[in-house]
Amino acid sequence: MQFTYTTIFGWYATHMFLQTGHLLSPVLAHALCNYLGLPPFTAMARSRHGTLLLAATAAGVCGFALLLPRLLDEGLYSNATYAVTWSSLQARQFANQYQNMWH
């Protein structure tokens, strides 16, 4: 379980860095994840309010997933040095193909 969680977080932190171009974002997210840890799913399920706790956790994950594209919008950040978007990748591919046509 820990390996899976760590792998997914690594993907997320890398995506966050590439989208924002800032190192501070993934560092703060890493610190927060280290502080909070994994949710205690077993303890929540055994609780008297287990269904409510698990539903609230699921709602939080869904809300996070829905807000993530807006939070990582490169327009919010002034540093575009490392920002990678599909449109910028397509533009680079087009430029490379154009240059290769003439060489």
Contact between residue 59 and residue 6 where contact means Cβ atoms under 8 Å apart: no
SS3 37: coil
Q: Tell me how far apart the alpha carbons of residues 79 and 28 are, in angstroms, rounded to a whole number.
A: 17
Domain ranges of the chain: 2-101
What is residue 52's predicted lDDT score, i.e. its pLDDT?
A: 95
Q: Would you give per-residue pLDDT tens digits along the chain (103 residues)?
A: 778 888 988 998 988 888 877 888 889 889 988 898 888 889 999 999 999 999 999 999 999 889 888 888 777 776 655 555 555 666 666 666 666 665 5
* Per-residue pLDDT, 16: 86
Question: CA 52 to CA 18: how far, in whole Å?
Answer: 36
Q: What's residue 76's pLDDT?
A: 73
Taking the C-alpha atoms of residue 53 and residue 55, their distance in angstroms, rounded to an integer, is: 5
**Confidence (pLDDT) at 72:** 80
Q: What's the CA gap between 19 and 86, in Å, rounded?
A: 11
- Give the residue ranges of DSSP H helices in 1-103: 2-20, 24-36, 41-46, 50-71, 86-101
